[in-house]
Amino acid sequence: MGRRKNNQNSMSLNNAQHQATKICFNDDEEEENSNLDDSIVATEKAIAMDDVTMSDPNGSFVDGGDDDNTSADYYFDSYSHFGIHEEMLKDVVRTKTYQNVIFQNKFLFKDKIVLDVGAGTGILSLFCAKAGAAHVYAVECSHIANMAKEIVESNGYSNVITVLKGKIEDIELPVAKVDIIISEWMGYFLLFENMLNSVLYTRDKWLANDGIVLPDKASLYLTAIEDAEYKEDKIEFWNNVYGFDMTCIKKQAMGEPLVDTVDQNQIVTNCQLLKTMDISKMASGDTSFTVPFKLVAERDDYIHALVAYFDVSFTKCHKLMGFSTGPRSRATHWKQTVLYLEDVLTICQGEALTGSMTVAPNKKNPRDIDITIKYSLNGQRCVASRTQHYKMR
């Protein structure tokens, strides 16, 4: 989830996804899909889009008479519109990872009660039902729930999947406990939109003692990049717009993390793990944190921005599975999150950019995220130290 940001200005990214417009997915249960590097999944294989067989993509999305939504409904709830679900379903790194996790680990699902938090079109519920779950409760708060109901019916799963329209926080379940909670809750910068809180609420209310949460681990990473050209285009642009000074907007642009793809050749330093969250154990307060970082230059270069990205993993599978949204992995619709620095840092190989990152949900709107970066560089060519505030909204 978490695709509300409008990235008209993004670079080429997600070519694979755009090329995939006409593609539907087969049931190939054996296909590998993760984009994790070797350190996470040893047997990773690239997804060959050509291998994905075609079927009629139009059949599933029948207008179910739920067309009295106006643009206002979509403005306040973009998840009601099928477009956002189309983007997520076509993100094959995302969707095939969930499919492989479920189909290749049927022992987890067999005869189990599953709760799908934020079911969208119902895709994860369908995977679970197909894998042998005893019953799946698919909870979805937006109007797409009506489509999910139809999709469940037209695919013959009405006896296994119950779609419940409403917020997970408000819904009543006909069972006291569930064996599995599955959700695709991740937003930009992992935490944007704060849906993780709803999953933690669900876990505390309904998960059986020996139950599992899928995915159960999520990690945030940081690296630094050279990005002169794009910083010029996105930030310095405001210095002179058709001869006028619009630098007041430049200040705002600096404070807004940019969701975009980064070419791996832009990476100047190591990639540092900032924080790992254990979804099965963490408290909701754990989404606020301050963590130190030390980014060591792997070559002489300039640094214009820090870049954050995440990975998620499913450690309860019989082999570790998951995917990464990092710049060295196959692109996903989450892209990466670019935080531009006020200074252009000149760094020499071996020198370290050190500092800390503070992350917290915004007090006024907890779906937004406030990020503070403190950094300092004490190098041969450059000495700099600064605190910068960013707001993801």
Residue 194 lies near ligand SAH (rule: CB under 6 A): no
Contact window for ligand SAH (CB under 6 A) among 57-65, 119-127, 207-215, 234-242: 119-127
Residue 280 lies near ligand SAH (rule: CB under 6 A): no
Cα–Cα distance, 29 to 232 (Å, whole number): 46
Nearer to ligand SAH, 143 or 304 (CB): 143
> HSE of 153 in the Cβ direction (CA atoms, 13 Å)?
10
Q: Which of 92, 113, 115, 123 forms a contact with ligand SAH (CB under 6 A)? A: 123
- Please count the residues of this chain forming the interface with ligand SAH, following the rule CB under 6 A: 22
Cα→Cα distances 122→27, 56, 80, 367, Å: 16, 18, 13, 23
User: Catalytic: 232?
Assistant: no
Q: Which of 135, 123, 273 is nearest to 183 (CA)?
A: 123
Least distance in Å: CB of 335 to ligand SAH?
16
Do residues 80 and 73 make contact, with C-beta atoms less than 8 angstroms apart?
yes
Q: Where are the alpha helices (DSSP H) in 155-227?
A: 196-206
Q: Which residue has the tokens 């690239």?
A: 46
Contact window for ligand SAH (CB under 6 A) among 10-18, 116-124, 210-218, 248-256: 116-124
Least distance in Å: CB of 191 to ligand SAH?
13
Catalytic residue among 44, 140, 193, 226: 193
Cα–Cα distance, 41 to 354 (Å, whole number): 30
Convert residues 88-107 into a mask of x (bound to ligand SAH by CB under 6 A) and - (unbound). Answer: xx------------------
Q: Is 28 helix (H, G, I), strand (E, B) or coil?
A: coil
Residues 6+ apart with CB under 8 A from 209: none
Q: Which of 124, 129, 163, 371 forms a contact with ligand SAH (CB under 6 A)? A: 124
Residues 6+ apart with CB under 8 A from 219: 273, 274, 275, 276, 277, 310, 311, 312, 313
Label residues 309-344 b or e (16+ Cβ within 10 Å = b).
bbbbbbebbeebbbbbbbbebbbbbbbbbbbbbeeb
Q: Which of 302, 386, 377 is nearest to 346 (CA)?
A: 302
Which residue is at the shortest CB distance from ligand SAH? 118
Rg of the chain's alpha carbons, rounded to an integer? 22
User: Catalytic: 44?
Assistant: no
Residue 119 lies near ligand SAH (rule: CB under 6 A): yes
Do residues 334 and 221 make contact, with C-beta atoms less than 8 angstroms apart?
no
Convert residues 136-155 into a mask of x (bound to ligand SAH by CB under 6 A) and - (unbound). Answer: ---xxxx-x-----------
Q: Which of 66, 192, 194, 199 is nearest to 124 (CA)?
A: 199
Q: Which of 32, 118, 303, 304 forms a contact with ligand SAH (CB under 6 A)? A: 118
Cα–Cα distance, 6 to 201 (Å, whole number): 29
Residue 184 lies near ligand SAH (rule: CB under 6 A): yes
Q: Which of 1, 163, 308, 353 forms a contact with ligand SAH (CB under 6 A)? A: 1
Residue 195 lies near ligand SAH (rule: CB under 6 A): yes
Nearer to ligand SAH, 55 or 380 (CB): 55
Residue 167 lies near ligand SAH (rule: CB under 6 A): yes
Contact window for ligand SAH (CB under 6 A) among 12-20, 67-75, 163-171, 338-346: 163-171
Residue 192 lies near ligand SAH (rule: CB under 6 A): no
Residue 187 lies near ligand SAH (rule: CB under 6 A): no
Catalytic residue among 32, 184, 226, 351: 184
Residue 211 lies near ligand SAH (rule: CB under 6 A): no
Active site (catalytic) residues = 184, 193
Query: In the complex, which residues of this chain contact ligand SAH (CB under 6 A)?
Result: 1, 79, 85, 88-89, 118-121, 123-124, 139-142, 144, 167-169, 184, 195, 198
